[in-house]
Amino acid sequence: MPMTQRQALEVLMPLRGERIVVTTMSSAGIWPTLSQSLLDFAYIPSAMGHGPSLGLGLALAQPERGVIVVNGDGCQLMSLGNLATLAQQPANIFIIVLDNGQYEVTGGQPHAGTGRVDYAAVARAVGVKRTYTFTDLPSWQSGAAEAISGPGPVVIDLKVEALPNQKTPKPPRPMAEQIRRLQGALSVA
């Protein structure tokens, strides 16, 4: 039985430490109910599929800080090449793919890779050395601490429950305010 997205993020929450957390799509609606950190960045409005690239830029700019990007499988497929970009950088970044096998916020349609794409295997194939797949909540609970530690880049495929009739979440605050908060927390404003 796949875990829910909320369960997946509840496991992640105590492990994020002082890392920047970039959320996209559904996770951007759930994460603010778990965390109010100044280091949270809800990437909405976004360029679809580009959360990992934004996160990689942050990770290269802030190598000591570290970045966690919570992406969707549909988003990941839109810019699959970013895994190859990621692989060439010894960056402190963790990409979590919440893999529900559908475009959740457009009505639950399947995408081109539904049921076929192994994101951890794709990441390994393009050179990402540390990858993980967790298919249920107990395995994620027991393996998350190892996965969310050590050197990056890391790609983690989490099989999560597909929910129907989800809407694109609203960001917790306007983009300009999000940027001010994050840059203030990073002391780069």
Under the binding rule (CB under 8 A), the answer on residue 106 touching other proteins is no
The reply to whether 50 sits near other proteins by the rule CB under 8 A is yes
State the nearest-atom distance from the C-beta of 62 to other proteins, in Å: 5
60-99 footprint of other proteins as x/- string (CB under 8 A): xxx----------------x-xx-xx--xx----------
**Residue 55: left if φ>0, alpha if ψ -120 to 50, beta else—which one?**
alpha
Q: State in angstroms the smallest separation of the CB of 35 from other proteins.
A: 18
CA–CA distance, 176 with 142 (Å, rounded to integer): 38
* Cβ at position 150, least distance to other proteins in Å: 21
Residue 52, H or E segment: helix 51-61
Calculate the dihedral angle through the C-alpha atoms of 132, 138, 142, 146, rounding to the nearest 10 degrees.
20
| Site size toward other proteins, by CB under 8 A | 31
Burial (CB < 10 A; 0-12, 13-18, 19+), residue 89, is middle
- Give residues in contact with other proteins (CB under 8 A): 41, 45-50, 53-62, 79, 81-82, 84-85, 88-89, 175-176, 179, 182-183, 186, 188
